[in-house]
Copies of this chain bind each other. A is one copy, B any other.
């Protein structure tokens, strides 16, 4: 018998999707069974649905020809997916989530009962995920399912991408249906074009600029236009900086690259963006971590042109921004319309000085003053010795900052869940990455706190025998929170150090079949380990109060970072920018 569940599997296969991440349960067992019965399809069992959805989130990030899929049961199975779905939503990652739902006849809708729950484990997952999906629906019958599959798949990959969820009652899963027949291949929906008016604007926008700058956003990579954009930048010789999510898509040795901006951005890069006079933002939503808390002080001397696929993102800007709603997949039409002047010599000197002073330099002070292991030095050693085409997934908190502040990559794929930024992301994401791209070596960097959040998936790694390597930046607590408490709570480390604990990570490694390396000095880190085909946990022993440097604290502009420079030095690094007195630089 060929059922709706078989149809789902054949549909996915037709879209080049041949695996799913699952935790089964009564209400989704028929779908999982169909996946098991189909020889072309594989599913992987996780030990928590949260990990399945985080792993699915990683799929498109590593291989943008593939889309991650999860299957979970009704009720807690479905709600456990939520945090991972949010990862996809905020970072515009397509992913498909299939949840089982109680039999139609047992649903509160059918019973016309306005109750908390009618069928066992019945939960209104559709309403719950509406704020974090592009589309979510409980299907009524097979016809509905069939149309929804097509429609939602298209929705996930079109326009500003994102996750979708289809909730399927058990009876619908079991319906006997006609076999899937391959239809015309759908292509992304698009309705962007460059009008004459736009073209005129683009033509002239940078004409009078003496200090131009491009901001490279993740939208470039998500639309797979990174090579074209980089070629164009190189041909024009215009300087660019990057958002964190953009950093994975180009070779950092590029001579036009001037680092990454933001609250934890590079000091030099922040000085550069704050001092430019014309800024082209390509595919970045310029969130608070990039512009700082007070957006009025972001690149105050620059005219700004922001190009984004999501018109809602553009509507948020005030009239000092010029905006263009456009899909960077069609980058050629755009770049052919934009001209830059030769870069001004003053500006060339300024940016070069900033780069020399601050980019790819470990200027952190904490480990020197405290004679402890520097996470910056460790990160540099790791990143510089990664095998070709590796995948590196830092998590959140201090460890994430240290990685992005340090890394100089060529062809390494680096990503994290930027906008959602959950602890517990890295372990499942490494699994998703490895399963999506078995040829690459996959590395995770995470804190000792986050390491514990989805620790159960070490069993999945062990069982599948994936040669994943995890670096625990072990500062015995929630490092980034402690630094926050240093500033605002007189270093009372409530729930970040106090009351926090961890198991013995060596025993954890042994338990789950990982090799274990304790790293107390830079020399302890053996670079051969990075190419090995073993799964390894590196326990990197940091001082508990190791700091993130530099860091923009609340109420500051992004180029006025801790550790603080004197007014004199600050002004020397910002001579095109407002004087510190002009914007009332807080005293330190």
Contacts and interface: CB of A to CB of B under 8 A. Distances in A.
A118 B22 CA distance: 31
A315 interface: yes
A30 B479 CA distance: 16
A452 interface: yes
A315 B421 contact: no
A420 B452 contact: no
A312 B113 contact: yes
A75 B420 contact: yes
A114 interface: yes
A66 to B, nearest CB: 20
A459 B453 CA distance: 11
B421 A494 contact: no
A429 B306 CA distance: 50
Nearest to A134: B116
B492 A36 contact: yes
Contacts of A128: 82, 128-129, 131-132
A116 B129 contact: no
A481 B73 CA distance: 11
Nearest to A174: B488
Interface residues of A, number: 101
A316 B111 CA distance: 7
Given A33-B492, A462-B501, A293 B106 contact: yes
Contacts of A26: 480-481, 484
A121 interface: yes
Contact of A24 (B36, B121, B456, B496): B496
Nearest to A36: B494
Interface in A503-543: 503-504, 507-508, 510-512
A489 interface: yes
A120 B287 contact: yes
A323 interface: no
B489 A33 contact: yes
Given A121-B421, A492-B36, A494-B36, A459 B463 contact: no
A144 interface: no
Given A29-B484, A494-B35, A495-B36, A511 B500 contact: no
Interface stretch (A37-45, A146-154, A558-566): A37-45
Given A36-B498, A423-B76, A90 B117 contact: yes
Nearest to A293: B106
Interface in A283-302: 285, 287-289, 293
A76 B80 contact: no
Interface string A309-328: 01011011000000000000
A27 to B, nearest CB: 10
A79 interface: yes
A586 interface: no
Contacts of A47: 449, 452-453
Contacts of A116: 89-90, 162, 310, 312, 419
A356 to B, nearest CB: 31
A508 to B, nearest CB: 6
Nearest to A318: B111
A492 B288 contact: no
A288 B120 contact: yes
A337 interface: no
B495 A24 contact: yes
A460 to B, nearest CB: 8
A422 B76 CA distance: 5
Contacts of A449: 47
A502 interface: yes
Interface in A104-146: 105-106, 108, 111-121, 123-124, 127-132
A86 B79 contact: yes
A48 interface: yes
A103 interface: yes
A500 B105 CA distance: 31
A473 to B, nearest CB: 17
Contacts of A480: 26
Contacts of A293: 103, 105-106
B86 A123 contact: yes
A83 B114 CA distance: 21
B503 A45 contact: no
Interface string A473-499: 000001011001100110010111011
A22 to B, nearest CB: 6
Contact of A120 (B106, B123, B127, B419): B419
B25 A481 contact: yes
A155 B42 CA distance: 47
A106 B288 contact: yes
A32 interface: yes
Contacts of A494: 24, 29, 32-33, 35-36, 43
22 contacts: A29-B481, A29-B488, A32-B495, A35-B494, A36-B494, A36-B495, A48-B453, A75-B86, A76-B424, A90-B116, A102-B288, A103-B293, A112-B316, A113-B312, A113-B313, A117-B419, A119-B288, A120-B419, A128-B128, A128-B132, A455-B455, A455-B456
Closest 6 CB pairs of A and B: A76-B422, A113-B316, A36-B494, A463-B501, A24-B495, A124-B131
